[in-house]
Structure 1
Amino acid sequence: MRYHESIGGVFLLKKVINVAVERDGLWLDSDIVYAQVPGWLGNATRNLRLSVIRHFATGDDTKFPVIFWFAGGGWMDTDHNIHLPNLVDFARAGYLVVGVEYRDSNKVNFPGQLEDAKAAIRYMRANAAKFQADPDRFVVMGESAGGHLASMLGLTNGMTEFDFGDHLDVSSDVQVAVPWYGVVDPLTAKQGSATDAFDFVYRNLLGAEPEDAPELDAKANPLTYVSKKSVPFLILHGQQDQVVPVKDSEVLYEALNQAGVDADLYELETAGHMDVQFMQPAVFKLILEFLKKHLN
């Protein structure tokens, strides 16, 4: 409707509209400390943080499924907030989105990164009521090194050897894994890469060259843990990836299928490593459809 109003002899036209509430408001809780781990050469304490895109409180028993995001960076550097502007689409679709900091390989060798990731999951499960999180619908998703973590999390449900720190009275289990161009076997990733520029990251992760340390390599290899109890997997990889060979994702997909695990693999025909194509609506739609299918 339009109204004429006279102010100082001047007639102004104002507009009144009725706005329907079509989506939730979102908060960002940034840099919440979820764990404390050894710091400077083991002589101090280091905080590990996570950030949560969460919904305005509903005041009822609504619970939102949770997507944990693990950014890449070759285990050398990572930023748990860097992709949150892109991932807000998942929050708009009804999820909580949790960006998780984990220690890089300059601070700890594997499995320290997996221990951190599991600690973040336990923190959110222990504090589910605070965030209106559904502790029975936890999704892990990540890119590259973070994709490796997502795969490891999806394959180690029920194991306790990687659980350290606080909230050990709750589970670090997850329900779905969505690795984006994730490293699988450090050895085959190193050998199959189209470039040797990143060979050093595997040595830094393991504390030894993967070809010289088969036991360490196997411990960090998601294929070691594939079983019929593994959670559903949606694997994404670019066919033009020059860093992490797409063949490794194909091997993981085949192993999951042979174990009877519900898994899908989508290869992006012209996408390279950490390509903006993965952030497009078409890809997010695939992910959301897969999650809808597998989260009861």
Structure 2
Amino acid sequence: MKKTIDVKTVRDGLWMDTNVTYAQVPGWLGNTTRDLKLTVIRHFQNDSDKRYPVIFWFAGGGWMDTDNNVHLPNLVDFAHDGYILVGVEYRDSNKVQFPGQLEDAKAAIRYVRANADRYQADPDRFVAMGESAGGHMVSMLGVTNGHREFDKGDHLDVSSDVQVVVPFYGVVDPLTAKEGSATDDFDFVYRNLLGAEPEDAPELDRAANPLSYIDQQTVPFLILHGTKDMVVPLKDSEQLYDKLIENQVPADMYILNGAGHMDAQFLQPQVFEIIKNFLAKHL
């Protein structure tokens, strides 16, 4: 069979930049230097002046292991709908304790904002989205705009602020996450993150708890959680939602019936449409 067809261009092609170094941090026992990497999915440059909102993705892994590419294939729908996607590597708790992870996240945001022209990014429309431990990360980003004590490293002349956050089944308070989990298999991750058991170190726990920072400057939140999550308690996300509303912060929460932790339900078109509509409203 041989045919000549007309093809209508209805979406951009996409490029993917991998292994982009956004920061250099202490490496082996503080005696070496290691790179932190980004993966950036961006658009064919058809219009040199066009700028796109950016979604920064933070994968989970209990702060013990992370892969900045792990969910990008599932999230490419957002790129086709007009976003830049940035998968962010951050240090695990074997390398640094909190707030090192938050410092890494803010460094990644500053790097992309400082290089907005290179990556076609709209620096006024940055979204932080992540799952589980990465969900905790984005919640912390959403409540610490302007907290300069977490800005470390390069590009300190630009802001690390984000405009919207979307935590998927994110950890909120390390203490209540540990105490409220349906399994004790992951209790150790909170000790590793904080450097102490959260019940024995209330100041460390408070510092790593997004609820400690919420005020009327907090950015809009879209919270996603499943009713069958055996790792991170649903009630913690509900408490986060309630405190946001109490402080008059725009927030929506969607509870996925029957969804477990890291469930494929969260990656379905129905859920992505909810996210896209929320972002369209608040960016």
Q: Does residue 1:71 correspond to 2:59, yes or no? A: yes
Letter in 1 for 2:31: N
Aligned position for 1:4 = none
Aligned position for 1:196 = 184
Aligned position for 1:169 = 157
Q: Does residue 1:229 correspond to 2:217, yes or no? A: yes
Q: Does residue 1:111 correspond to 2:111, yes or no? A: no
Q: Percent identity?
A: 73
Q: Structure 1 stretches of 5 or more lacking a match?
A: 1-12
Residues 267-278 of structure 1 correspond to what in structure 2 (within 5 A)? 267-278=255-266
Q: Does residue 1:94 correspond to 2:82, yes or no? A: yes
Aligned position for 1:6 = none
Structure 2 residue aligned with 1:55, among 43, 49, 54? 43
How far residue 261 of structure 1 moved from its aligned partner, in angstroms, is 0.3
Aligned position for 2:68 = 80
Following the alignment from structure 2 to structure 1, what is the Cα–Cα distance between the partners of residues 119 and 112? 8
How far residue 150 of structure 1 moved from its aligned partner, in angstroms, is 0.4
Following the alignment from structure 1 to structure 2, what is the Cα–Cα distance between the partners of residues 238 and 229? 28
Aligned position for 2:233 = 245
Letter in 1 for 2:263: D
How far residue 59 of structure 1 moved from its aligned partner, in angstroms, is 3.2
Structure exhibiting the larger radius of gyration computed from Cα positions? 1
Aligned position for 1:132 = 120
Residues 4-15 of structure 1 correspond to what in structure 2 (within 5 A)? 14-15=2-3
How far residue 164 of structure 1 moved from its aligned partner, in angstroms, is 0.3
SS for the counterpart of 1:117 is helix
Aligned position for 2:111 = 123
How far residue 31 of structure 1 moved from its aligned partner, in angstroms, is 1.3
Structure 1 residue aligned with 2:17, among 16, 23, 29? 29
Structure 2 residue aligned with 1:150, among 138, 145, 154? 138
Q: Structure 2 stretches of 5 or more lacking a match?
A: none
Following the alignment from structure 1 to structure 2, what is the Cα–Cα distance between the partners of residues 255 and 129? 37
Aligned position for 2:254 = 266
Following the alignment from structure 2 to structure 1, what is the Cα–Cα distance between the partners of residues 212 and 129? 20
Letter in 1 for 2:187: D
How far residue 61 of structure 1 moved from its aligned partner, in angstroms, is 1.2
CA-atom RMSD in angstroms: 0.6
Letter in 2 for 1:107: K
Following the alignment from structure 2 to structure 1, what is the Cα–Cα distance between the partners of residues 25 and 261? 31
Aligned position for 2:196 = 208
How far residue 60 of structure 1 moved from its aligned partner, in angstroms, is 2.9
Letter in 2 for 1:155: V
Letter in 1 for 2:184: D
TM-score, normalised to structure 2, is 0.99
Aligned position for 2:278 = 290
Following the alignment from structure 1 to structure 2, what is the Cα–Cα distance between the partners of residues 102 and 31? 13
Stretches (4+) displaced over 2 A: none
Letter in 2 for 1:198: F
Following the alignment from structure 2 to structure 1, what is the Cα–Cα distance between the partners of residues 219 and 171? 18
Q: Deviations over 1:53-98 (max 9, x none)?
A: 1000123311000000000000000000011100101001100000
Letter in 1 for 2:224: L
Following the alignment from structure 1 to structure 2, what is the Cα–Cα distance between the partners of residues 24 and 225? 39
